[in-house]
Chains A and B, each alone.
Chain A
Amino acid sequence: MSDEFDFWKEFKSNKKGMIGLIIVLFFAVIAIFAPIISPYNPNTTNPALFLSPPSRLHYFGTDTLGQDLFSRDIYGAQISLIVGISAGAVAIVIGLLAGLISGYLGGAVDEVIMRIVDFFIVIPALVFMIIIAALLGPSLINVIMVIGLLSWAPTARIIRSMVLSIREWPFVESAKANNAGKIYIMFRHIFPNVTSVLYGNAMLAISAAIFTQAALVFLGVGNVTSISWGGIIRDAYTSGALTAGDFSFILPPGIFIFVLIFGFIMMGFATEEIMNPRLRTIKG
Chain B
Amino acid sequence: MIEIEDLTVIYRTREGKIRALENINVDIKSNEIFGIVGESGSGKTTLAMTIMGLLPRNGYVESGSIKVDGDDILKLKPEMARMVRGKVISLVFQGAMNSLNPLLKIEDQVAEPLLIHRSTNRGEALRRARETLELMGLDSFTWKKYPHELSGGMKQRAVIATAMIMKPSIIIADEPSTALDVITQAQLMNILKELQKMARITIIFISHDFPLVSEMADRIMILYGGKPSEIGSNRQILSEAGHPYTKGLINSVPMISARSKPEAIPGEPVNIKNPPAGCRFKPRCKMALDSCGSYDYSPKIIEGDHMIFCKMFEGGKDGRST
Contact = CB atoms under 8 A, between A and B. Distances in A.
Direct chain A–B contact by Cβ atoms under 8 Å:
yes
Contacts of A283: 40, 45
A284 B38 contact: yes
Nearest to B43: A284
A277 to B, nearest CB: 15
B58 to A, nearest CB: 9
A88 to B, nearest CB: 32
A284 B206 CA distance: 10
Nearest to B11: A282
A283 B41 CA distance: 6
A279 to B, nearest CB: 8
B81 interface: no
B237 interface: no
Nearest to A284: B45
B243 interface: no
B18 A282 contact: yes
Interface string B162-179: 000000000000100000
Interface string A268-282: 000000000000001
Interface in B4-61: 11, 13, 18, 20, 38, 40-49
A284 B56 CA distance: 13
A284 B18 contact: no
A interface, by DSSP: helix, strand, loop or mixed? loop
A190 to B, nearest CB: 26
Nearest to A283: B45
The size class of the interface chain B forms with chain A is 10 to 19
Nearest to B36: A284
A282 B46 CA distance: 9
Interface residues of A, number: 3
Contacts of A284: 20, 38, 40-49, 174
Interface string B122-165: 00000000000000000000000000000000000000000000
A8 to B, nearest CB: 13
Nearest to B272: A282
A282 B13 CA distance: 10
Contacts of B40: 283-284
Nearest to B59: A282
A283 to B, nearest CB: 5
Interface string A248-284: 0000000000000000000000000000000000111
Interface in B169-223: 174
Nearest to B273: A282
A115 B295 CA distance: 68
Contacts of A282: 11, 13, 18, 20, 41, 46, 272
Interface in B95-146: none
Interface string A74-108: 00000000000000000000000000000000000
B281 to A, nearest CB: 17
A12 to B, nearest CB: 13
Nearest to A282: B11
Nearest to A10: B14
Contacts of B44: 284
A282 B49 CA distance: 12
A282 B273 CA distance: 10
A276 to B, nearest CB: 15
Interface in B259-287: 272
A283 B46 CA distance: 8
A283 B272 CA distance: 11
Nearest to B223: A284
A144 to B, nearest CB: 41
Nearest to A9: B14
B1 to A, nearest CB: 22
A282 B40 CA distance: 9
Contacts of B41: 282, 284
Contacts of B48: 284
Interface of B: 11, 13, 18, 20, 38, 40-49, 174, 272
Question: 6 nearest interchain CB pairs?
Answer: A284-B45, A284-B44, A283-B45, A284-B46, A282-B11, A284-B43
Given A284-B44, A284-B45, 4 more contacts: A284-B20, A284-B40, A284-B42, A284-B174
5 contacts: A284-B20, A284-B41, A284-B44, A284-B45, A284-B174
